[in-house]
Amino acid sequence: MAGHSGFTIATEGSITTPKGFRAGGVYCGIKKVQRYDLGAIVCDVPADAAGVFTTNVVVAAPLTVTKESLARSGQLQAVLVNSGNSNACTGEQGDRDARDMRAKFAEALGVPEHYVGVTSTGVIGVPMPMEKLYRGIPELRTKLSTEGGDDFCQAIMTTDLVQKSICVTLTVDGKTVSVAGAAKGSGMIHPNMATMLGFITTDAKLEPGCLQMLLSNATDVTFNMITVDGDTSTNDMVVAMASGLAGNAPLGPNHPDWEAFAAAFRHVAETLAKEIARDGEGATKLIEVNVVGASTDYDARAIAKTIVGSNLVKSAVYGSDANWGRIIAAAGRAGVPMNPNTVDIRLGDIPVLKGSAPVPFDEPAAKEYLDGNEVTIHVDLHGGAGRATAWGCDLTYDYVKINASYRT
């Protein structure tokens, strides 16, 4: 276990570490290759729940169904996920299929339908093979366990190369509280939610409304600050569930342990967001852009996201080219105010621009730094107290190869 301020990373933890949660995954035939494609997280009790969803005006049917479930009571007891088919742009049949998924899983678990959320990821515009799902759901129910976190992570992957999972623990009111997360995402990733699915579980007890506030605030500075390719998906969703079984007094902003719990929650979200960026389709490097000195945090976020999302910046990082001109040019087109005459830029610890004037630097040393698998770009605008961090990845030949044949 590694310690952080107020919380500890549980190296052996998973989405099922918080008390009351089980998970699992099975192969039911949606994917062309025999790899898990149906998974679920289930709670032993109705859990307080919160969600954030894609900002794309084209919204996949499962998200509409999950929003309906959340609106009923603000609680969920299960989330069913399939990969290989997004059930997006599938018309009225897609709506019926999403509701049937919810109904069949609720029936299998013996819980009310509105305690079940559903979501899907994969190819757009293809009808969901419901008979395969109907066969897979009973098998999945038998696979749910406290050891099923890895199987669930496998079941939600599409072009992902690695599983994305994190768990932290902390003490609240003398009780051990866990916060865990799992996510998928590799392509069609852009700020304001992306082709990513995120799931956060905790056994903490929270005051009414606090979980949604916490999730929305964390999303703004984590999941909404990543980009791979500038495309916002139809299926993006992050759902948080709190079982309340840890035995603590309800957490809220006035609780003495609130800040520590909020920091742990943000750490889970940030870790998952960075892992999605790191695993971008074809990516070889994680790019982090830190912007300080902006007029406001909003302006800093806009500039950081524009830099990390620039195809020219991403290509330069892939080629280990210290082309700072692309960085300042991206900052200038972010659509927010900045003084073009006071900008400092560093690549790692290497200054390349000072007061918007070039700084002589060691090109071989800069190339050696950019050859690494993590690249940090620091931008100081000297214009205020606003700051933000965004994450992305380099743009490679393999990204084009992967997406040129995604359906085949």
List the catalytic residues: 195
First to last CA, the chain: 42
Altogether, the residues listed in the chain come to a count of 408
Nearest to 314 by CA among 364, 356, 375, 270: 375
Collapsing DSSP to helix, strand or coil, 105 comes out as helix
Provide the 8-state DSSP code for 302. Answer: H
379 Cβ contact partners less than 8 Å away, ≥ 6 residues apart? 289, 290, 291, 292, 303, 304, 307, 327, 331, 343, 344, 345
Q: Is 11 exposed, middle or buried (0-12, 13-18, 19+ CB in 10 A)?
A: exposed
Contact predicate 39/158, CB 8 Å: no
Q: Cα(31)–Cα(29) distance, rounded to whole angstroms?
A: 5
Contact predicate 377/310, CB 8 Å: no
Phi-psi bin for 100: left (phi > 0), alpha (psi -120 to 50), beta? alpha
Q: Cα(150)–Cα(163) distance, rounded to whole angstroms?
A: 8
Q: Is 2 exposed, middle or buried (0-12, 13-18, 19+ CB in 10 A)?
A: exposed
Neighbours of 232 (CB within 10 A): 20
Contact predicate 22/145, CB 8 Å: yes
Structure tokens at 308: 């990390």
Give the bridge partners for 88, in sequence order: none
Q: Which residue has the tokens 């214009």?
A: 383
Q: Cα(280)–Cα(161) distance, rounded to whole angstroms?
A: 9
